[in-house]
Amino acid sequence: MSSPPRIGLLGGTGIEGKGLALRFAQAGALVVVGSRARERAAAVVQELNQRLGHESIHPAENREMLAQSDLVLLTVPFAQAADALDTYRNDFRHGLTLVDATVPVKSKTTPGPGDLPEGSGSQFLAKRLPEGVHLVGAFKTIPAHILAELEVPLDCDVFVCGDSEPDKARVMDAVRVIPGLRPVDVGGLDAAATLERMTALAIRINRRYKSKGARFRVVGI
Amino acid sequence: MSSPPRIGLLGGTGIEGKGLALRFAQAGALVVVGSRARERAAAVVQELNQRLGHESIHPAENREMLAQSDLVLLTVPFAQAADALDTYRNDFRHGLTLVDATVPVKSKTTPGPGDLPEGSGSQFLAKRLPEGVHLVGAFKTIPAHILAELEVPLDCDVFVCGDSEPDKARVMDAVRVIPGLRPVDVGGLDAAATLERMTALAIRINRRYKSKGARFRVVGI
């Protein structure tokens, strides 16, 4: 095994970013929480490191984070994702693997995956990236707040999709760093259309079963 | 617990029907395999009963089966499902619960769920039913040939969707008859759009992992 990758979170101060930062840091990865404002990142990181009991998460302004990270996870809400990509477009280094953990969950004011002409949020976002930056969909079906509950075993699968096999393999290796998560390769980026709907299905299941952490596991592979 | 329901299979001589017949009969349910031709049903039932070692599956022409069954499972291929519903339209008794186990898997010649203006195969089929017959989607994500391999523990969930709560409850009770299957209520019939895509995702996973039985389990409920 090589040394753990430096994981950067683009817009990492929300619930999704916090949860992933905690799980990766707990597993021994180097984590940089990026934010538009360094102070915002610093405040969140202080809270997270306190919960962990060590100082293994670092704060940064998003551009600083991009310069320091091997793998960058996009963890803003989907509604802000396109703007974030446009803002940092020139800061993505050639060859960067960008992990799309966002999900367009349909509401009165926001589109669902079926409302996007590209078919999914990931395909919509991929079109906005400069050449040489590859988007990989992952973590879409993992409930954010379960990530943040460190005492809860995750015990589920992370569906990983993307059109570049080497980038996908890199993301699958990163997923394996977190105990209780198994990466499952579901093919090209177009699979995001299904994964994003599965997130909406999990939200429905949570509502019916008065649960908060419905997530998926594949049996039989 | 009440006595097990009499399960009828509309077009039950294919791989899906055979697998469900075997699992329900093994669990002690009364099963009637329907076919357009009684002799075709009889030949298949002989094979199935031989595998089971008892005579608990019965053959019937589809109309006979419809007259004898509490719960009817539609197990023809999706491409033949609309024709089957049209053919037997006048034979569905008022109050019948019809279980749609079909999946429109996109190919060169057949539509996927996204190609149907109704959004899913189940919604497309529901529109063709006479009043008083309720469609419930179930068993869509369970690989047919795994059902037929009786020595394989199923160990997965059956997602159940439908717009009539009593009919859905009836189907969930039937699912509980089969060991290793847990019904998960995923709300209205529109959830079929997601379930049908999940079947396509499982087929993709099978291809990647050289497996045959990828199926799903919900963690956290």
Three-state DSSP class for residue A65:
helix
Q: Would the pLDDT of A147 be above 60?
A: yes
**Minimal Cα distance from A115: which residue of B?**
B114
pLDDT band at A109 (very low <50, low <70, confident <90, very high): confident
8 Å CB contact of B208 and A186 = yes
8 Å CB contact of B198 and A200 = no
pLDDT band at A45 (very low <50, low <70, confident <90, very high): very high
pLDDT band at A108 (very low <50, low <70, confident <90, very high): confident
**Residue range B52-104, pLDDT digits in tens:** 999 999 999 999 999 999 899 999 999 999 999 999 999 999 999 999 999 99
Q: Would the pLDDT of B42 be above 90?
A: yes
Q: Which residues from chain A sit within 8 angstroms of residue B209, using beta carbons?
A: 185, 221
Preferred mutation among A116, A120, A168, A218 to probe B, highest tally of B CBs within 10 A: A218
Question: How far B55 CA lies from chain A's nearest CA (Å)?
Answer: 30
Extents of the domains making up chain B: 6-209
Q: Does A185 touch chain B if contact means CB atoms closer than 8 Å?
A: yes
Preferred mutation among A168, A190, A194, A207 to probe B, highest tally of B CBs within 10 A: A194
Q: Does B143 touch chain A if contact means CB atoms closer than 8 Å?
A: yes
Q: What is the pLDDT of residue A107?
A: 86
Q: Which residues from chain A sit within 8 angstroms of residue B202, using beta carbons?
A: 218
Q: What is the pLDDT of residue B76?
A: 97
Q: Among residues of chain A, what percentage have pLDDT more than 90?
A: 92
8 Å CB contact of B217 and A216 = yes
Preferred mutation among A142, A186, A219 to probe B, highest tally of B CBs within 10 A: A219
Q: Would the pLDDT of A117 be above 60?
A: yes
Token output for A58: 């670092």
Model ipTM over 0.85: yes
8 Å CB contact of A219 and B155 = yes
Q: What is the mean pLDDT of residues B137-166?
A: 96
Q: Would the pLDDT of B1 be above 60?
A: no
8 Å CB contact of A221 and B211 = yes
pLDDT band at A116 (very low <50, low <70, confident <90, very high): very high
pLDDT band at A2 (very low <50, low <70, confident <90, very high): low
Q: Does B46 touch chain A if contact means CB atoms closer than 8 Å?
A: no
**Minimal Cα distance from A155: which residue of B?**
B219
8 Å CB contact of B197 and A202 = no
Q: What is the pLDDT of residue A5?
A: 75
Q: Would the pLDDT of B174 be above 80?
A: yes
**Residue range B190-203, pLDDT digits in tens:** 999 999 999 999 99
Q: What is the pLDDT of residue B4?
A: 66
* Architecture of the structural domain at B6-209: 3-Layer(aba) Sandwich (3.40)
Threshold 0.90, pTM exceeds: yes
Q: What is the pLDDT of residue B133?
A: 97
Which residues 61-100 of A are in CB contact (within 8 Å) with B? none
Q: A-B interface: how many C-beta pairs under 8 angstroms?
A: 102
pLDDT band at A113 (very low <50, low <70, confident <90, very high): confident
**Residue range A17-42, pLDDT digits in tens:** 999 999 999 999 999 999 999 999 99
**Residue range B94-136, pLDDT digits in tens:** 999 999 999 998 888 888 888 899 999 999 999 999 999 999 9
Q: Would the pLDDT of B2 be above 80?
A: no
Question: How far B214 CA lies from chain A's nearest CA (Å)?
Answer: 5
Q: What element of type H or E holds A197?
A: helix A192-209
8 Å CB contact of B221 and A204 = no
**Minimal Cα distance from B190: which residue of A?**
A201
8 Å CB contact of A215 and B219 = yes
pLDDT band at B157 (very low <50, low <70, confident <90, very high): very high
Q: Does A218 touch chain B if contact means CB atoms closer than 8 Å?
A: yes
3-state SS of chain B?
CCCCCEEEEECCCCHHHHHHHHHHHHCCCEEEEEECCHHHHHHHHHHHHHHHCCCCEEEEEHHHHHHHCCEEEECCCHHHHHHHHHHHHHHCCCCCEEEECCCCCCCCCCCCHHHCCCCCHHHHHHCCCCCCCEEEECCCCCCHHHHHCCCCCCCEEEEEEECCHHHHHHHHHHHHHCCCEEEEECCCHHHHHHHHHHHHHHHHHHHHHCCCCCEEEEECC
Q: What is the pLDDT of residue A4?
A: 66
| β-sheet bridge partners, residue A60 | A34
